Structures are given as structure tokens and as C-alpha cells.
Copies of this chain bind each other. A is one copy, B any other.
Amino acid sequence: MKASVLFSGGKDSSLSAILLEPFFEIELVTCTFGVLQVGEVASQAAEKLGFPHRILELDRQVLEDAYGLLIKDGFPRSSINHIHYAAVEQLASEKGVSAVVDGVRRDDRVPVLTIGQSRSIEDRLGIKYICPLKGYGRSAVDYLVNKYLIIDEGQSSEMIKADYETELREITRQRQDENIMRKLFPSHVQSHVIGRKK
């Protein structure tokens, strides 16, 4: 069975693909609104991992709705969740997709689907929604990342990563001043996969 992994080029989605590789036929799928070249960034990481990769264009209106939520809330949580749910739903609706794979970990707070949302997508769309790292805490993930991946780390404000935050941050940067940007998106360390250990 094919498993379509939502892929940001980061360590969690990469590790999710590696954990499923012995049991499924893996394809990596990166979502984009076309605001930045996130697809190309992810494509390079996918090549390093040795998995086939494709880009999925999401409806620009989803990003505009997410921006609206961001400005209303003053923090990106529900905004990122909104994009994530739309991405899972769109990928799960594609013809030929049987399993949608999400890199969420046990301790992640965002983006995360509720159990109800997970079941709803599985039941309505007839697919399997699999989160290989959902039962892994930080120390288990760190162990596996160190064993199988070569990563580069940097501040989120300085790295282009193929996650939902990157394009949301970009349209916010185009519309808001620097002070508001810093408040909405506090900088944090992000990882980017640059190779795989065999």
C-alpha cells in the first residue's frame, strides 16, 4: 500500500517516512500556497532521503482564512491547525491516496488533529490516517533522528522550511510591521534535513 507523507523537510516528517518505509510504499508530499518556493526546498531534502516527492497546491483561500485567524487570535495556533486540517483533507481526498501520514509527535501541541477529526477523515474519505511518531516522546525521537538523519538547525526567522508557518509568516510580513511580526511569530530553533545515515 502507498503511504503519502506530509513532508516539510524537517526531522519529524522525515523520520515518519523512515519508520514506515519497511511496511509501505512511501511518497513525500509537500503542500504549498505558491507564496514561496517551499516545494523546491522540500524537494532537495526528499532527494537526500531517497524518496519520491511531489508538490500539492492548496487553495489560497485556506491561507487567507488562516491569516484572518492569526490576526484575530494574536497567536498562530488555530491558524496553523486550520491549514493542517485542510492539507490532510485535500491529500486524503485525492484519487489514488490510501494512507495519509502526519509527522506529529506525542508532545506536540500544534499542528495536531483531534481524535474526532482523525476518525472523521478516515470514515468520510475511506483512507488510513497514520501518525507514526504519535507514541514517541522527545528522547525516543532524538535517538532515532541521531541514528538515521543528518540535520541542520537554525532560527525559524532565518530559514525557509516547507512547513505551514513559512508561507503564513511571509504574507504576514508583507502586511504587518516588524514589531507585530515578532509578537506573532517568536523565533524558535528549526531543523532541516540535509542527509540520511545508512
Contact = CB atoms under 8 A, between A and B. Distances in A.
Given A23-B19, A106-B118, A137 B129 contact: yes
B130 A140 contact: yes
A48 to B, nearest CB: 19
B137 A135 contact: no
Interface string A16-56: 00010011000000000000000000000000000000000
Nearest to A126: B139
B134 A106 contact: yes
Contacts of A102: 135
A130 B134 CA distance: 9
A19 B144 CA distance: 14
Number of this chain's copies in the assembly equals 2
A140 B23 CA distance: 11
Contacts of A106: 115, 118, 131, 134
A122 interface: yes
Nearest to A22: B22
Contacts of A75: none
Using C-beta atoms within 8 Å of the partner chain, give the interface range for chain A.
20 to 34
A104 to B, nearest CB: 7
Given A106-B115, A107-B115, A140-B99, A130 B122 contact: no
B143 A137 contact: no
A104 B136 CA distance: 12
Contact of A128 (B107, B115, B119, B143): B143
A128 B140 contact: yes
A87 interface: no
B137 A118 contact: yes
B128 A139 contact: yes
A132 interface: yes
Given A104-B135, A128-B136, 9 more contacts: A1-B143, A19-B19, A23-B144, A119-B137, A128-B143, A130-B135, A130-B136, A131-B135, A132-B135
